[in-house]
Amino acid sequence: MKKINISHYIILLLSMILFIVSVFLNPYSFSYLAALVLILLLALLVFSTGIIINKQEFYQKNITKYIILYFVLLLSLTMFINRPGVSFFNKEFLEDYTRTINIIPFKTIISYLTGIANIGIKITNILGNLIAFVPFSFLLMLKDKKYCKLKKQFVILTVTVFVIEILQLVTSTGRFDIDDFILNIGGGLLFVILLNKIKLIDKLKRLFYQDFHIPKIGKIVLWSITFLFIILVDIMMFVNMVAIEQVITQTFYVSKQDRCSELEKIEMEGYHLYLDCVDVVYETEDNYQMSLQEALENGELTRKDIKEKLEQKETLRDGGTATYVDTKENIAFVLCRTTEGNKDIYVGNKNLRYEESFCK
């Protein structure tokens, strides 16, 4: 039992360090789903260790471990994954910060609901913010009954959300929006009200404080399989970090616009450039960086270059409109070429796909 306990602490610490370093060095090395799967595997290891030891005080410690894992996932999603990287006290970001904050309640929510942004962005920014702190509220309720009170939850959620906003400001990874507060805190409180109303928390709590009378051999098998899976993931993370391809200079640097609800239209010579809630920096072969707009305007980047640098994913029958994607650099282009002569360019992250409203 002691060896299993020590082993689970070692692999937890090692995995979290590898994960944090990996997403810090290369924000595009993990997808949101891959990060979630890893954290769930670690949570399963904690759970299986708990049912092997099967002591109330250990189950209580496990809730604290779940909370730590939750925050590792939350911070990686809000500050690292699919973002251009942390930049402490970035001057340009700080100068732009005060102009982009929103202190008008429901302004951003309404803009998402009524804007023309694709459904994925709407779900991420509304539903994602609404459920972001639900796991935290739930784990607090599992830890102690005093956290079933709305007042306690409100204070803790408010402080937590505020601290994360400060961290995003310091690391230049996000901007303040009062609607984030409303959705984050409101989602957690609504969840608490629901569980209290249907009186379900005590039943759910029992699931985290018992071994379900599983035979000892079954517990060991579950723990061993989970442990081996995590070891394999850790090996892949380590190999990914030391791979030579990770140090190859990028061509495109894509950053997400958190407060975006519609396509940004830029007038170009003979066509329009549309940015789907992203900012893109282009790096030339001699390592000179410029905005995507500048690169297209001065000829540093052409439609031919885009076709050569990215993988073609789909071609339509309206004259040659096609989608080009580079998943590694998290960028996609829709190059319009219609029979009417439309040559607009749409740019977004790797998930961007042609829509009926494009190339009109």
Residue 250: per-residue pLDDT: 73
Is residue 15 within 8 A of residue 7, CB to CB? The reply is no
Beta strands at 345-348 and 271-275: parallel, antiparallel or unpaired: parallel
Which of these, 294, 303, 353, 301, lies nearest to 323 by C-alpha position? Answer: 353
Output the pLDDT for position 9: 95
Indicate if the alpha-carbon torsion angle 30, 33, 36, 37 is positive or negative: negative
Domain ranges (residues) in the chain: 2-245, 252-348
Predicted confidence at residue 244, as pLDDT, reads 45
DSSP per residue, 193-251 = HHHHHHT-HHHHHHTTS--TT--HHHHHHHHHHHHHHHHHHHHHHHHHHH-GGGGSPPS
Q: Look at residues 46, 43, 41 and name the one whose alpha carbon lies nearest to residue 8.
A: 46
pLDDT, residue 354, reads: 87
Q: Six-digit token pair at 354?
A: 């042609």
The string of pLDDT tens digits covering residues 152-211 is 999 999 999 999 988 888 887 777 889 999 999 999 999 999 999 998 999 999 999 999
The conformation of residue 138, written as its DSSP 8-state character, comes to H
pLDDT at 39: 97
Tell me how far apart the alpha carbons of residues 212 and 61 are, in angstroms, rounded to a whole number: 18
What pLDDT, on the 0 to 100 scale, is given for residue 213? 92
Report whether 280 contacts 291 (CB < 8 A): yes
Structure tokens at 216: 């000892």
0.75 exceeded by the pTM? no
103: number of Cβ within 10 Å? 9
48, amino acid identity = S
pLDDT at 85 (0 to 100) = 61
Q: How close are the terminal C-alpha atoms of the chain, in Å?
A: 66
| 3 state DSSP class of 271 | strand
How do 252-256 and 278-283 pair as beta strands? antiparallel
CA neighbor of 141 nearest in space, from 67, 70, 223: 67
How far, in Å, CA of 76 to CA of 27, rounded? Answer: 9
Q: 216 vs 42, 51, 229, 291, CA distance in Å?
A: 20, 9, 20, 60
Angle at 357 between CA 257 and CA 122, to 5 degrees: 40
Per-residue pLDDT at 360: 82
Give average pLDDT by consecutive 10-residue segment, the chain, 360 residues.
91 95 79 92 97 95 97 92 69 68 85 72 82 96 94 96 88 83 95 93 92 94 96 90 58 81 88 92 79 90 90 73 88 90 92 86
Q: Which residues of 315-342 are buried (b: 16+ CB within 10 A; e: fewer)?
A: ebeeeebbbbbbebbbbbbbbbbbeeeb
